[in-house]
C-alpha cells in the first residue's frame, strides 16, 4: 500500500535505492499513564493520518470516551488549505478565515479525514474498550 502513495514518493515511483529506508505516514500511537498502556490507536488516511491521530488523542486526553473521540469532527491543513468537517465550531473557522487562511467546509463526514481505530484499557479495572471510525466502516468486536 505505501509504495503506491504519491505523497510518499516525491521523486516518483520505483526511485528508491536498494536498502534505502522509505518514508511512511503510519503513526501507531500509545498513550501511557504511570508507565502503563492506557490506549493504542492508529489510522488509515495517507497524509491525514497524523492530524486524525493527533485530534483523537487530544480528545482522549481531555477525558472523552473512545467512540466520541473518534466521532468528533476533524480538521486538516495541507497546501495552504484548511479543510473542516461539519461540526467544527463555525465561529472558530470564521476567526481563522479572518487571518487570510482559506477554509473549505465539507458538507458531511468523509473518509478523507482518516479512519481512527482505538483500544483503551482502564488502569484501575483492566477493562478493555474500543472504538471504530464510521468514516471507514470501523467497528469494535468484543469476545
Q: pLDDT at position 141, please?
A: 85
Confidence category of residue 77, pLDDT binned at 50, 70, 90: very high
User: Does the pLDDT value for residue 43 go beyond 90?
Assistant: yes
Q: Which CATH architecture has domain 24-136?
A: 4-Layer Sandwich (3.60)
Cβ(31)–Cβ(60) under 8 Å? yes
- Residues belonging to the chain: 143
Amino acid at each position: 500500500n505505501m509504495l503506491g502513495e504519491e505523497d510518499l514518493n516525491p521523486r516518483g515511483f520505483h526511485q528508491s535505492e536498494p536498502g534505502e529506508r522509505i518514508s511512511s505516514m503510519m503513526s501507531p500511537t500509545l498513550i501511557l499513564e504511570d508507565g502503563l498502556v492506557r490506549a493504542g490507536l492508529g489510522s488509515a488516511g495517507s497524509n491525514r493520518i497524523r492530524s486524525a491521530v493527533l485530534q483523537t488523542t487530544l480528545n482522549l486526553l481531555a477525558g472523552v470516551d473512545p467512540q466520541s473521540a473518534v466521532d468528533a469532527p476533524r480538521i486538516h491543513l495541507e497546501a495552504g488549505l484548511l479543510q473542516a468537517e461539519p461540526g467544527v465550531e463555525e465561529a472558530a473557522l470564521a476567526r481563522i478565515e479572518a487571518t487570510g487562511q482559506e477554509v473549505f467546509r465539507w458538507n458531511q463526514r468523509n473518509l478523507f479525514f482518516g479512519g481512527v481505530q482505538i483500544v483503551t484499557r482502564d488502569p484501575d479495572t483492566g477493562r478493555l474498550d474500543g472504538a471504530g471510525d464510521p468514516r471507514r466502516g470501523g467497528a469494535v468486536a468484543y469476545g
